[in-house]
């Protein structure tokens, strides 16, 4: 496709007219209908790029070397282009049609006529997408003309008014030196040949042109041709798909060029020559994408969609946007590597991304923010959750204050009925939670179920106690009947217990000495109707359990008792035993109960109930051992 | 469990949705595939659920045996910077939990209480685990203080009266430097080497508009981001130019609820708001007069309350709305 000495020819011709660069765009080998980089020659000085005079001072070698670099760069782009895993460009990088990048050459090819663009740097980027680059490289004039099934693009840093003789001159020089056997009017040939391949291209471009020309004040030698417009009408859905493919390719193109740019920042101008297309695509505002589908035939399936996105404002040229683009191009060029990585990252994954490109004004399907509190949950977390904890704090203080008989701060309690109610509920919930954890086989979480299960569990325990009592009662009746009737109905009252047991049992005194405080609870064995009332006593205080028992001394009895006690998984750290009158007196004390049940002080708040359950269990086991 | 994990795959190839029985607020990525979710129930009993995320199969598998009860909703969840077996929660106290795979259970490891006089310390609004020195956690409290904890020794390293009002969020920058935001409307930076002074680097424009959240850019410590109460703006601060934000990201159409910097890139930040959108922004090196547009967006079915960017899988962002968590591919 590209003649071997094309580069030399480009170099020759570009230097012959003292212009800055020449690019030969040719029909892509891999994608018919698409123009791609054929050959290029840069004829400028990077640092003094304003002086076109310096061009000739550059040695051929350097010039060709640079061109080679351009070629290398493009090779890498091309590899990416044909690689199977082409990824769709990221939403982050406003996917842009490659045809747009090649718009100027593309249109030239489509029409087979030269296009002369002055003030390239100030051209709207939608017309000449590399205008941004042109700006940074001070390129003023750009000329595109069809040549050899391709397009030659020339640019210079000087303002050159339209002069077809220049084109003629170059064309001639090419034709002479290349000895190609193309007709003298390549444009005409191309026109017919490309009609098919490029119809969609023409459709895009020319449709654009119609919209933009009246608004943008730059010089385009050729305005929309009727041919192009008619092509536009012929555009089919199928072509749209092709168009999509191109977009995808351009995404890859971008990735590659970014990488290269990162590597060759020093060669900034060179690289940007090629990659500026990509960059400006990248940064082109989303409106641009929007207006492309707008050109669709409204009757096609996408019509609705494009209509929906149709925003009259989008086609307006915003004078600010150019500056903005320029800034962004520069910042993109100068970005640190990790940003590029991020860009690549976003780009690479776009195909699978959940995110879509952000659009000004938002997509239509986005819900309007609902009325009501904003940041509802965040505020609850920050403002109300701490209050919940504080309620717990106050509640606990109230309890402490009550216990210590201190005056409770007025502002901390009951000022607000709602608050106290909430507190009460929190307290209840906490207790229910504890209760739930105490009873096995809780089926459901709701409060009624918890209570039901607790009732059931208690009944079950009572029944078992009854059975045990009955068994004991029979034996007791047979052995001795020393209990008084009053004792049988004795209940877990400290007073009764003290009164009665003080007389009989010195151990009771010991327990008193050990200081059961007012929050402590005890349960004694006289819950059992029958004898041996004081043979086993289980008492509890704030943080310990004390078991006192007396039983006939038999070998192995002690081990038996300890085994039974240990089955409760309670650590007992003190065991005193004495033998007297053939009886074994045993006092067992537990360690800190915190490890036994739960750290939560609320366990205690459940009162005698829970402790009763525990103690009854202990009693039951010990009785079984004794008897 | 297999069934559950299948059920959780409500998403397509680029997102995974997990539907929790409870509304979700707290959310944390670990250094592995583990994810923690905190319920938000306005009651005593709350849950912390542990899930595993597999980006290959796009599945989220709950681990019911590792889930545990939490008193009141946790205000924040965070995994140890390097160990996925340690989880911290804040609420009434800072609590450390150990997730034991061997026994398939979670154990309360320790509870940090800095009050010597009672069983209660002032409720905590947030905390941050120091990524450079994992032995340090900083907590922020409604009692205007920030507390730095020495985890190994379970001791308070230092406690500072940081603000004039409630402190709402806290973030580490370096091993000994942290910043906090408060109901007093200021962002302050503290250096543990000089506890006498703090630097105010931002004050909300209308005095006393509370600042609710703070995120410090771990990839570029010059930048941090904060959000204001009832504001659709994300304020980007440069610590080198105190009091003058470098940017206002104001493309959300309702108040912002959460912000997170990209864990792997220095100029990307994501935000989520009441307008049901999650946006990803790239900070330009040059600010534009017309403001900064986000580069991409995602629309959720309802207000997004939480957003986290996975450090393990940087191409995944998690958002929480209502009772759902959604993992989104970036």
pLDDT in tens, A200-222: 333 333 333 333 333 333 333 33
Q: How far apart are the first and last CA of chain A?
A: 109
Q: Pick A533 or A613 by higher pLDDT.
A: A613
Structure tokens at B213: 């959240």
- What is the number of CB-based contacts under 8 A between chain A and chain B? 191
Among A224-228, A522-526, A619-623, the range with the most confident prediction by mean pLDDT is: A619-623
| C-alpha to C-alpha distance for B267 and B234, rounded to whole angstroms | 14
- Which one of A324, A362, A385 has the shortest CB-CB distance to B253? A362
CA distance A577 to A203: 105
pLDDT at A268 over 80: no
In the prediction, which pLDDT does A120 show?
57
What confidence tens digit (pLDDT) does each residue in A281-298 have?
333 333 333 333 333 333
Hey, which of A110-119, A268-277, A592-601 has the most confident mean pLDDT?
A110-119
Yes or no: say if B127 and B167 are a contact pair by the CB < 8 Å rule.
no
- Binary contact (A342, B91; C-beta < 8 A): no
Across the range A122-132, mean pLDDT stands at 50
How does DSSP classify residue A552? E
| CA dist., res. B62 & res. B51, Å (int) | 4
Tell me the β-bridge partners of A41: A22
What number is the average pLDDT over the span A396-404? 47
CATH superfamily of B25-263: YVTN repeat-like/Quinoprotein amine dehydrogenase (2.130.10.10)
Instruction: Tell me the angle at which helices A103-111 and A199-212 cross, rounded to the nearest 10 degrees.
Output: 110
Of A228, A315, A91, nearest to B296 (Cα)?
A: A91
Facing A389 at nearest CB: one of B123, B275, B280: B123
Judge whether A428 is closer than 8 Å to chain B, CB to CB: no
Say which residues have a Cβ less than 8 Å from residue B315's Cβ, sequence separation at least 6: A345, A349, B55, B329, B330
Tokens of A464: 């078992």
CB atoms B296 and A390 under 8 Å: no
- pLDDT band at A175, cuts 50/70/90? low
Ramachandran bin of A375, using left for φ above 0, alpha for ψ from -120 to 50, beta for the remaining angles: left
Of the pLDDT bands very low, low, confident and very high (cuts 50, 70, 90), residue A15 is confident
Q: Which of A63-67, A178-182, A202-206 has the highest mean pLDDT?
A: A63-67
How large a percentage of chain A has pLDDT more than 90?
1
**pLDDT over 70 at A23, yes or no:** yes
C-alpha distances in Å from residue A571, one per residue of A264, A564, A609, B322: 74, 12, 22, 46
Region A56-73: what's the mean pLDDT?
Answer: 50
Q: What is the pLDDT of residue A429?
A: 82
Q: What is the pLDDT of residue A66?
A: 53
Please name the residues in contact with A343: beta carbons below 8 A apart, sequence gap of 6 or more.
Answer: A90, A92, A93, A258, A335, B282
In this predicted structure, what is the pLDDT of residue B147? 93
**pLDDT score at B99:** 92
**For position B41, what pLDDT does the model report?**
92
Tell me which residue has tokens 């307008």. Answer: B275
Tokens of A324: 């903005």
Q: Kindly report the average pLDDT of chain A as a whole number.
A: 55
Closest Cα to residue B94, out of B150, B40, B45?
B150
Answer whether A90's CB lies under 8 Å from A348's CB.
yes
State residue A225's pLDDT score.
35
| Cβ-Cβ contacts under 8 Å, A331 against chain B | 284-286
Token code pair at residue A580: 């007297």
Q: Closest by alpha carbon to B153, among B138, B140, B135?
A: B135
- Once rounded to an integer, what is the mean pLDDT over residues A263-286? 36
Q: Which helix (H) or strand (E) holds A107?
A: helix A103-111
Measured CA to CA, the distance from residue A516 to residue A499 in angstroms comes to 16
Over 80: is that where the pLDDT of A70 sits?
no
- Which of A179-183, A453-457, B102-106, B118-122 is the least confident region? A179-183
pLDDT of residue A542: 62
3-state SS, residue B300? coil
In A, which residues are within 8 Å of B212 by CB distance? 375, 378-379, 382
- What pLDDT is stored for residue B50 in this prediction? 95
Locus of tokens 């929660």: B89
Indicate the DSSP class of residue B229: T
pLDDT tens digits, one per residue of A26-51: 766 655 555 666 666 666 543 333 33
Residues with Cβ within 8 Å of B314's Cβ and at least 6 positions away in sequence, in order, are A345, B262, B263, B264, B265, B330
One-character DSSP codes across A505-545: -HHHHHHHHT---TT-EEEEGGGSSSS-TTTEEEEEETTEE
Exposed / middle / buried, residue B325 (Cβ in 10 Å: 0-12, 13-18, 19+): buried
Interface of A with B in 340-369 (CB under 8 A): 341-343, 345-346, 349, 352-358, 360, 362-363, 365-369
For residue A342, which residues of chain B lie inside 8 Å, CB to CB? 262, 264-265, 267-268, 282
**B201: three-class secondary structure by DSSP:** strand
Given a cut of 80, is residue A462 above it in pLDDT? yes
Q: Which of A378, A383, A395, A399 best probes binding to B when mutated, by most B CB atoms within 10 angstroms?
A: A378
Q: How far apart are CA B218 and CA A466, in angstroms?
A: 68
Alpha-carbon distances of B218 from B72, B170, B264, B278, rounded to whole Å: 31, 14, 9, 21
Residues 6+ apart with CB under 8 A from B247: B235, B236, B283, B287, B292
DSSP SS3 for A16 = helix
Task: Tell me the C-alpha distance between B84 and B154, whole Å.
Answer: 20
**B:176-235 residues touching chain A, CB 8 A cutoff:** 212-213, 219, 229-230
As a whole number, mean pLDDT of residues A449-475 equals 84
Which tops the pLDDT comparison, A140 or A335?
A140
- Residue A158, classified by CB atoms within 10 Å of its CB into exposed (0-12), middle (13-18) or buried (19+), is middle
∠ CA B253-B256-B262, nearest 5°, is 115
Contact A378 B15 (CB under 8 A): no
How far apart CA A193 and CA A306 sit, in angstroms, is: 31
Highest mean pLDDT among A387-401, A494-508, B211-225, B233-247: B211-225
Indicate the pTM of the whole model: 0.46
What's the pLDDT at A606? Answer: 52
User: Among A56-70, A432-446, A481-495, A604-618, where is mean pLDDT lowest?
Assistant: A481-495
Q: Taking 60 as the threshold, does the pLDDT of residue A79 lie above it?
A: no
Which bin fits A515, alpha (ψ -120 to 50), beta or left (φ > 0)?
Answer: left
| pLDDT(A580) > 70 | yes
Choice between B88 and A405, residue whose per-residue pLDDT is larger: B88
Q: Which of A205-214, A331-340, A551-560 has the lowest mean pLDDT?
A: A205-214
Positions in chain B short of pLDDT 50: 1-11
Q: What is the mean pLDDT of residues A484-490?
A: 40
Sheet with strand B86-90: strands edge to edge: B76-79, B86-90, B94-100, B105-112
Q: Range with the lowest mean pLDDT among A174-188, A452-466, A586-600, B263-277?
A: A174-188
**Smallest Cα distance from A338 to chain B, Å:** 6
User: What span, in angstroms and rounded, lies between the C-alpha atoms of B181 and B179?
Assistant: 7
Mutate to test the interface with A, among B168, B222, B285 (most CBs of A within 10 A): B285
Cα–Cα distance between A445 and B162 in angstroms, integer?
42
Q: What is the pLDDT of residue A419?
A: 65
Q: Judge: B286–A426 Cβ closer than 8 Å, yes or no.
A: no
């Amino acid at each position: 496709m590209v003649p071997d000495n094309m580069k030399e020819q480009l170099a020759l011709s570009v230097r012959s007219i003292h212009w800055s660069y020449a690019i030969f765009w040719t029909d892509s080998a891999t994608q018919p209908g698409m123009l791609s980089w054929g050959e290029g020659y840069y004829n400028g000085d990077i640092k003094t790029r304003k002086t076109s005079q310096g061009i000739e001072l550059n040695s051929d070698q350097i010039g060709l070397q640079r061109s080679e670099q351009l070629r290398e760069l493009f090779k890498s782009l091309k590899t990416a282009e044909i690689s199977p895993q082409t990824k769709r460009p990221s939403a982050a990088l406003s996917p842009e049609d490659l045809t747009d990048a090649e718009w100027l050459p593309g249109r030239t090819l489509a029409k087979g006529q030269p296009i002369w663009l002055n003030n390239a740097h100030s051209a709207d980027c939608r017309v000449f997408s590399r205008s941004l680059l042109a700006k940074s490289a001070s390129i003023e004039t750009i000329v595109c003309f069809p040549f050899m099934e391709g397009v030659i693009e020339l640019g210079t840093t000087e303002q050159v008014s339209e002069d077809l003789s220049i084109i003629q001159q170059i064309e001639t020089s090419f034709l002479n030196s290349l000895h190609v056997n193309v007709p003298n009017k390549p444009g005409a040939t191309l026109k017919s040949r490309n009609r098919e391949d490029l119809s969609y291209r023409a459709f895009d471009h020319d449709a654009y042109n119609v919209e933009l020309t009246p608004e943008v004040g730059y010089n385009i030698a050729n305005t929309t041709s009727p041919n192009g417009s008619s092509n536009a009408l012929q555009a089919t859905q199928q072509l749209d798909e092709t168009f999509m493919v191109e977009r995808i390719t351009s995404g890859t193109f971008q990735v590659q060029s970014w990488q290269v740019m990162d590597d060759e920042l020093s060669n900034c101008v060179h690289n940007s020559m090629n990659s500026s297309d990509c960059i400006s695509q990248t940064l082109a505002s989303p409106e641009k994408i929007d207006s492309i589908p707008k050109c669709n035939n409204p009757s096609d399936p996408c019509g609705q969609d494009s209509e929906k996105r149709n925003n009259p404002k989008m086609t307006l040229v915003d004078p600010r946007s150019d500056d903005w683009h320029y800034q962004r191009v520069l910042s993109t060029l100068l970005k640190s590597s990790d940003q590029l990585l991020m860009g690549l990252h976003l780009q690479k994954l776009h195909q699978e991304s959940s995110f879509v490109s952000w659009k000004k004004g938002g997509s239509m399907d986005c819900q309007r923010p609902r009325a009501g509190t904003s940041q509802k949950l965040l505020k609850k977390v920050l403002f109300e959750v701490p209050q919940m904890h504080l309620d717990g704090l106050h509640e606990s203080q109230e309890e402490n204050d009550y216990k210590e008989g201190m005056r409770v701060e007025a502002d901390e309690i009951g000022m607000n009925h709602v608050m106290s109610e909430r507190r009460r509920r929190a307290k209840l919930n906490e207790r229910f939670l504890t209760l739930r954890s105490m009873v096995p086989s809780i089926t459901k979480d709701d409060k009624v179920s918890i209570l039901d299960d607790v009732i059931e569990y208690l009944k079950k325990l009572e029944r078992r106690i009854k059975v045990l009592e009955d068994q004991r009662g029979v034996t007791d009746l047979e052995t001795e009947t020393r209990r008084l009737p009053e004792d049988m109905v004795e209940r877990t009252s400290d007073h009764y217990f003290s009164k009665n047991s003080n007389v009989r049992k010195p151990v009771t005194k010991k327990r008193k000495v050990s200081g059961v405080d007012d929050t402590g609870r005890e349960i004694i064995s006289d819950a059992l109707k029958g004898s041996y009332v004081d043979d086993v006593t289980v008492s509890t205080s704030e943080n310990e359990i004390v078991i006192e028992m007396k039983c006939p001394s038999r070998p192995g009895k002690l081990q038996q008792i300890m085994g039974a006690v240990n089955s409760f998984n309670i650590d007992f750290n003190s065991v005193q035993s004495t033998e007297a009158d053939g009886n074994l007196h045993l006092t067992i004390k537990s360690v800190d109960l915190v490890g036994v049940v739960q750290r939560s002080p609320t366990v205690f708040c459940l009162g005698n109930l829970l402790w009763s359950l525990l103690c009854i269990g202990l009693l039951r086991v010990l009785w079984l051992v004794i008897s | 469990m297999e069934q559950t994990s299948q059920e959780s795959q409500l998403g397509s190839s680029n997102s995974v949705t997990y539907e929790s029985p409870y509304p979700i607020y707290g959310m944390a990525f670990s250094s592995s595939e583990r994810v923690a979710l905190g319920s938000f129930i306005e009651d005593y009993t709350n849950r912390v659920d542990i899930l595993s995320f597999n980006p290959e199969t796009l599945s989220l598998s709950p681990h019911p045996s590792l889930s545990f009860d939490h008193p009141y909703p946790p205000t924040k969840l965070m995994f140890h910077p390097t160990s996925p077996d340690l989880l911290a929660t804040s609420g009434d106290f800072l609590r450390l939990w150990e997730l034991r795979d061997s026994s398939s259970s979670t154990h309360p490891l320790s509870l940090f209480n800095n009050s010597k006089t009672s069983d209660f310390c002032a409720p905590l609004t947030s905390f941050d685990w120091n990524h450079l020195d994992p032995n340090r956690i900083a907590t922020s409290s409604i009692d205007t203080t920030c507390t730095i904890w020495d985890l190994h020794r379970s001791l308070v390293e230092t406690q500072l009266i940081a603000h004039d009002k409630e402190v709402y969020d806290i973030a580490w920058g370096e091993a000994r430097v942290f910043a906090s935001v408060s109901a007093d409307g200021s962002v302050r930076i503290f250096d543990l080497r000089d506890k006498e002074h703090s630097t105010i680097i931002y004050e909300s424009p209308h005095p006393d508009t509370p600042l609710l959240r703070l995120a410090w850019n771990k990839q570029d410590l010059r930048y941090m981001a904060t959000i204001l109460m009832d504001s659709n703006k994300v304020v980007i601060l440069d610590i080198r130019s105190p009091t003058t934000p470098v940017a206002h990201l104001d493309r959300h159409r309702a108040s912002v609820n959460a912000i997170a910097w990209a864990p792997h890139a220095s100029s990307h930040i994501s935000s989520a708001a009441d307008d049901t959108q999650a946006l990803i922004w790239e900070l330009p090196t040059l600010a534009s007069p017309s403001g900064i547009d986000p580069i991409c967006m995602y629309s959720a079915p309802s207000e997004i309350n939480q957003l986290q960017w996975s450090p393990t899988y940087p191409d995944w962002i998690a958002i929480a709305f209502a009772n759902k968590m959604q993992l989104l591919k970036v």
